[in-house]
């Protein structure tokens, strides 16, 4: 937004007044902080999305290779990372992603990653951890 524009009467708009008005509008429409993110494993076969508003964790399978995908999510508590959940998507490439709606306290630090998955090997070929807040 530019503050050197003229109003309808040809007078300059006050920078202070315009800033105050914009601040009031932003405060009235304020929403909870959101830290949304996505990550894929190195080959791009597995992906996860995290939406902090509602704590929705979604696990995708992006390749028809007969291998399941898994999203791993941890929470930080007392300075330590605690294994929170592994969400396995066995629906395959043609199936819908798997979504889980968590109840994680607002502001809680979370980390998550996307991996391929097999029953015998568990999670493998994982992305790095992605860090966010609920």
**Domain shared by 81 and 128, yes or no:** yes
**Confidence band (pLDDT; 50, 70, 90) for 12?**
very low
DSSP-H helix ranges across the chain = 15-28
**Domain shared by 63 and 87, yes or no:** yes
**Strand runs (DSSP E) across the chain, as ranges?**
37-40, 46-51, 56-61, 68-77, 80-89, 98-101, 109-118, 122-124, 130-133
**Domain shared by 63 and 115, yes or no:** yes
Is residue 13 predicted with pLDDT exceeding 50? Answer: no
**Domain shared by 61 and 102, yes or no:** yes
Read off the pLDDT of each residue in 99-128 and give the average, rounded to a whole number.
96
Tokens of 6: 């003229």
Cβ-proximal residues to 8 (8 Å cutoff; 6+ apart), any chain: none
118 touches 67 (CB < 8 A): yes
Q: What is the model's pLDDT at position 29?
A: 43
Average pLDDT, the chain: 81
**Domain shared by 56 and 79, yes or no:** yes
Q: Which phi and psi angles does 37 have, rounded to 5°?
A: -160, 165
**Domain shared by 16 and 71, yes or no:** no
**Confidence band (pLDDT; 50, 70, 90) for 6?**
very low
Domain that holds residue 67: 37-133
Give the Cα separation of 119 and 58 in Å (integer). 20
Number of domains in the chain: 2
**Domain shared by 42 and 63, yes or no:** yes
Which residue in this structure is represented by tokens 């396995």? Answer: 88
pTM for this model (two decimals)? 0.74
CATH of the domain at 97: 2.60.40.10
Q: What is the model's pLDDT at position 65?
A: 95
For residue range 123-133, what is the model confidence (pLDDT) as tens digits? Answer: 999 999 999 99
Is residue 33 predicted with pLDDT exceeding 60? Answer: no
**Domain shared by 46 and 109, yes or no:** yes
């Amino acid at each position: 937004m530019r503050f050197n524009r003229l109003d309808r009467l040809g007078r300059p708009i006050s920078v202070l007044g315009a800033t105050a008005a914009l601040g009031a509008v932003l405060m009235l429409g304020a929403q909870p902080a959101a830290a949304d993110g996505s990550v894929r494993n190195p080959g791009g076969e597995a992906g996860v999305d995290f939406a902090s508003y509602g704590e929705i964790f979604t696990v995708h399978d992006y390749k028809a290779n007969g291998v399941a995908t898994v999203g791993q999510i941890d929470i930080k508590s007392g300075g330590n990372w605690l294994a929170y959940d592994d969400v396995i998507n066995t629906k395959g490439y043609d199936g819908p992603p798997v979504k889980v709606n968590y109840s994680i306290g607002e502001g809680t630090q979370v980390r998550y990653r996307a991996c391929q998955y097999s029953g015998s090997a568990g999670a493998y070929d994982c992305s790095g951890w992605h860090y966010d807040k609920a």
